[in-house]
Amino acid sequence: MPKTYRIGQIVPSSNTTMETEIPAMLLARQQIRPERFTFHSSRMRMKKVVKEELAAMDAESDRCAVELSDARVDVLGYACLVAIMAMGHGYHRQSEQRLKAHTAANGADAPVITSAGALVNALEVIGARRIAVVAPYMKPLTELVVDYIRNEGYEVVDYRALEIPDNLEVGRHDPARLPDIVAQMDTSNVDAIVLSACVQMPSLPAVAKVEAQTGKPVITAAIATTYAVLKALDLEPVVPGAGALLSGAY
């Protein structure tokens, strides 16, 4: 009997993408590997992607971690990259430790990953130093994300801020537009492309096309989170059709 793992996600209340892209990848993996997955979420209030709302939302993550640990999930993913990065350099480490302590105190010790930490680690896994980044945020928040990534030791050669303030609209952004956006960027000397530095901006359908178009590995916040989830569960990080990181090469 294949083992079933419970995947817990802490998501912004207006996020509609993490509960589609993460399950889509892990269900695709079920076609080639025996493990099975179920998906469980807890929500933090957030509608506008601005610093004040993000800070208030992050404060709710403690409650969400406890709620999910009531369900005895096997791993928890904090599915909002910019909320973590807006709290200051390196904050993903602090958040992961604090939330894990809450699961342990509730008698359900489980690893906690953040999409922010997962993205930074994914760049290290594929050996990227110079990257290009696409983000849906307003320019000041995008610059904050770029600065956070730079502080982790990566060179952001070029980036695009799509300037979509409403989080629901971010979730409605058509991923088919992403290849053209990347085509207008300077990717000639980069090691990798971060096609979506946001777990709410849909990007999975465009990953293969952008990899083919640029000849560079493409990662997204959702792909990096899926990789981190599989590693945390001690499972082979392989998912068909989800780009270089999940190809089995790493």
Q: Which residues are catalytic?
A: 80, 198
The residue whose two tokens read 């780009």 is: 243
Q: How many CB atoms lie within 10 A of CB 50?
A: 17
Distance of alpha carbon 244 from the chain centroid: 15
In sequence order, what DSSP letters do the residues of 16-32 get, joined into one string?
-SHHHHHHHHHHHHTTT
Q: Which of 83, 111, 102, 116 is nearest to 15 (CA)?
A: 83
Angle at the Cα of 182 from the Cα atoms of 180 and 136, rounded to 5 degrees: 95
Are 114 and 64 contacting, i.e. CB atoms less than 8 angstroms apart? no
Q: How many CB atoms lie within 10 A of CB 148?
A: 25
